[in-house]
Structure formats: structure tokens, C-alpha cells
Amino acid sequence: MIDESERAVRAAMDAELLLLDPELRASPVRVSELLDPEFTEFGASGRRWDAESVLTVTSGATVSPESPVEVSEMTGVALAPGIVHLTYFADNQGRRAWRSSLWRLTGTGWRLYFHQATPVPSGIA
């Protein structure tokens, strides 16, 4: 039997994977449905992103359909009702990073509130 915390973690994981899907990323409308209006990201580049700047980049086909982001070691925990923290390892055509996301449940569903990427040099995992 799956409890509410497990359902929340699964929903956040599914939404995170959707945001990495090249087809979804090409649609600013679909991406914006998954980003919280207060979204903030600290990218692997060190740049700070908000929802508007992410929409500009994702609509520019930054993830190739031929080389999708490879995700491994994804885990999650419900921190409180309606708040889920995910961590995972991502490899985007050799650009590797540990990633951390906070998802929150809103009236319109699960939305990404915060994301951070920490780059991983070659040879380290």
C-alpha cells in the first residue's frame, strides 16, 4: 500500500522527469505549468535563473531529442505535506551534475519551486 508521502514523491519525480523531456521543454506553455511563479534556480554555471529566463532557454531546444538527459540515482523525500525534495545525478551530453529540487503542491498541481545543480568534474561521481 502506498501512503500519501510516497504518492507525493512519485508525483514530483514524474514532474521532474517531464521537465527534462525534450518535447515538453520545447513548449513554453507546458514548462510554465510545472514552474512555480516564485521559481528560482542556481544553475551548474553559477547563474541564477527565474521562471522567465528558464522559459527562454528551454524553448530554445537545449535538450536534444537524440541525446536526452540521462538521470540516475533519483531519490525523494516528503519534507512536509505538499513539499517534496528530490536529488539525482544528471548527465547532459557529458555535462554532469548533482541536482536538487524542491517541489510544492499548489491548487494547480505539483510545481517546481527551487532547483540547484552542482557540476561534477570528469572522473568524479
Low-confidence stretches of the chain (pLDDT beneath 50): none
Note the pTM of the prediction, 2 decimals. 0.88
Distance CA 49, CA 99 (A): 15
Q: Contact, 93 vs 115, CB < 8 A?
A: no
Tell me how far the alpha carbon of residue 36 is from its chain's centroid: 12
Q: What's the confidence (pLDDT) of residue 60?
A: 63
Q: What's the confidence (pLDDT) of residue 100?
A: 98
Distance CA 10, CA 22 (A): 21
Q: Which residues pair with 112 in a beta bridge?
A: 35, 103
C-alpha cell at 11: 508525483
